[in-house]
């Protein structure tokens, strides 16, 4: 029997009650991660990536949202069965999350130095002066200029990009077993983005942090991820190891996403790529059958009728598309 994965999401469904009706933001999502592995969760905005992350952290605003079903297994426990207090402890200690909007996670009444140093003291048992020194070093590493001055400032004194870097510094200082990073570098310029991805990779090497990386950018995934799950309208449509996904892209939606990479990255793929026409459908009014069929250049008879199941191209590559019907 294969060992239990380090982290596992099984058949997760999260819904929101809206005035116009019930929407399924996450619909039957499953994936798993071995210790130290990085999974890239990819898709356009509104495809359910961030709601998946919030569901894992049990931070879906309720109401209007609620996790309808599924299991989230971490350290042998189902997170959906834990008490609120157990979850709070786990969020601070075992799983760190870097949000897209850092202002919601930084405490406005404490200085930057206090907040980063607190992470070092709590999670690495440092003294006050050691923690302060380590904070300056970490702020320097995430690209904050004059960190010895910045530590005395408050979150509102910093720009959005700077606050994002402070959040990343705090998350890294926790040395968490698992990190969920939701578009961690999207707001930052390319140089800082590369530095931060490097830091995350280092953490992965040093302490085997397991990372769930949420991004719309397949270029970032290529830098960081061991495997990839592509999401569309709340569902996973393709799931494969990173190199397999890039070398043998199967789902027409993934092909479209690859096309949006900078030209140099896709030169040799250009011949087999199509741009994605149309827009992501509203979750309140999803098309029948394959949810991608009205944008798909390969759509054929069965596509608008019934939603395709997963077909297994090999033992690690799954795709939800009728083009692969001959596969298991």
Which residues in this chain contact ligand SF4 in the complex, by CB under 6 A? 252, 290, 292-293, 296, 298-299, 303, 308, 321-323
- Closer Cβ to ligand SF4, 39 or 303, answer by number: 303
Report whether 253 contacts 320 (CB < 8 A): no
User: How far is 173 from 175, CA to CA, in rounded Å?
Assistant: 5
Shortest Cβ 311–ligand SF4 spacing (Å): 10
Shortest Cβ 294–ligand SF4 spacing (Å): 8
User: How far is 54 from 72, CA to CA, in rounded Å?
Assistant: 12
- Closer Cβ to ligand SF4, 136 or 319, answer by number: 319
Shortest Cβ 298–ligand SF4 spacing (Å): 4
Torsion angle defined by CA atoms of residues 118, 115, 163 and 204, in that order, rounded to the nearest 10 degrees: 0
Please tell me what DSSP assigns to residue 256.
H
- Closer Cβ to ligand SF4, 64 or 302, answer by number: 302
- Closer Cβ to ligand SF4, 41 or 290, answer by number: 290
- Closer Cβ to ligand SF4, 176 or 256, answer by number: 256
- Closer Cβ to ligand SF4, 188 or 296, answer by number: 296
For 53, the 3-state DSSP assignment is helix
Neighbour count for residue 299 (Cβ, 10 Å)? 17
Shortest Cβ 289–ligand SF4 spacing (Å): 7
- Closer Cβ to ligand SF4, 247 or 306, answer by number: 306
- Non-local CB neighbours of 157 within 8 Å, separated by 6+ positions: none
Shortest Cβ 70–ligand SF4 spacing (Å): 24
Report whether 40 contacts 224 (CB < 8 A): yes
- Closer Cβ to ligand SF4, 16 or 322, answer by number: 322
Neighbour count for residue 226 (Cβ, 10 Å)? 18
Report whether 172 contacts 200 (CB < 8 A): yes
Shortest Cβ 252–ligand SF4 spacing (Å): 5
Shortest Cβ 292–ligand SF4 spacing (Å): 5
Phi-psi region of 312 (alpha: psi -120 to 50; beta: other; left: phi over 0): beta
Cis before 64 (ω within 30): yes
Report whether 139 contacts 116 (CB < 8 A): yes
- Closer Cβ to ligand SF4, 154 or 298, answer by number: 298
Shortest Cβ 293–ligand SF4 spacing (Å): 4
Please tell me what DSSP assigns to residue 10.
E
Burial string for 243-257 (b: 16+ CB within 10 Å, else e) reads: ebbbeebbbbbbbbb
Burial environment of residue 277 by CB neighbours within 10 A (0 to 12, 13 to 18, 19 or more): exposed
């Amino acid at each position: 029997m294969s060992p239990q994965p380090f982290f596992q999401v099984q058949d997760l469904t999260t819904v929101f009650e809206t005035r116009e009706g019930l929407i399924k933001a996450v619909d039957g999502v499953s994936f798993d991660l071995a210790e130290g592995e990085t999974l890239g969760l990819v898709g356009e905005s509104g495809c359910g990536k961030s709601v998946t992350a919030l569901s894992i952290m049990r931070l879906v605003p309720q109401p209007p949202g609620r996790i309808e079903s599924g299991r989230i297994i971490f350290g042998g426990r189902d997170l959906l069965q834990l008490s609120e207090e157990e979850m709070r402890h786990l969020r601070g200690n075992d799983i760190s999350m870097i949000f897209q909007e850092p202002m919601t996670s930084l405490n406005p009444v404490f200085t930057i130095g206090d907040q980063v140093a607190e992470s070092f003291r709590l999670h690495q048992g440092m003294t006050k002066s050691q923690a302060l020194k380590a904070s300056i070093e970490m702020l320097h590493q995430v690209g904050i200029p004059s960190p010895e001055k910045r530590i005395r400032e408050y979150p509102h004194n910093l720009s959005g990009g700077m606050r994002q870097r402070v959040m990343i510094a705090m998350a890294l200082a926790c040395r968490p077993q698992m990190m969920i990073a939701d578009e961690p570098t999207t707001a930052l310029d390319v140089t800082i983005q590369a530095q931060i991805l490097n830091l995350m990779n280092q953490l992965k090497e040093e302490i085997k942090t397991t990372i769930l990386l949420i991004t719309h950018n397949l270029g970032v995934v290529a830098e960081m991820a061991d495997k990839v799950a592509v999401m569309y309208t709340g569902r996973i449509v393709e799931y494969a190891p990173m190199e397999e996904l890039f070398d043998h892209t199967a789902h027409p939606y993934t092909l479209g996403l690859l096309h949006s990479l900078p030209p140099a990255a896709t030169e040799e793929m250009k011949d087999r790529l199509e741009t994605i026409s149309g827009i992501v459908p509203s979750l309140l009014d999803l098309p029948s059958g394959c949810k991608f069929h009205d944008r798909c250049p390969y759509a054929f008879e069965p596509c608008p009728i019934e939603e395709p199941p997963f077909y297994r191209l090999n033992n690690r590559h799954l795709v939800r598309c009728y083009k692969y019907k001959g596969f298991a």
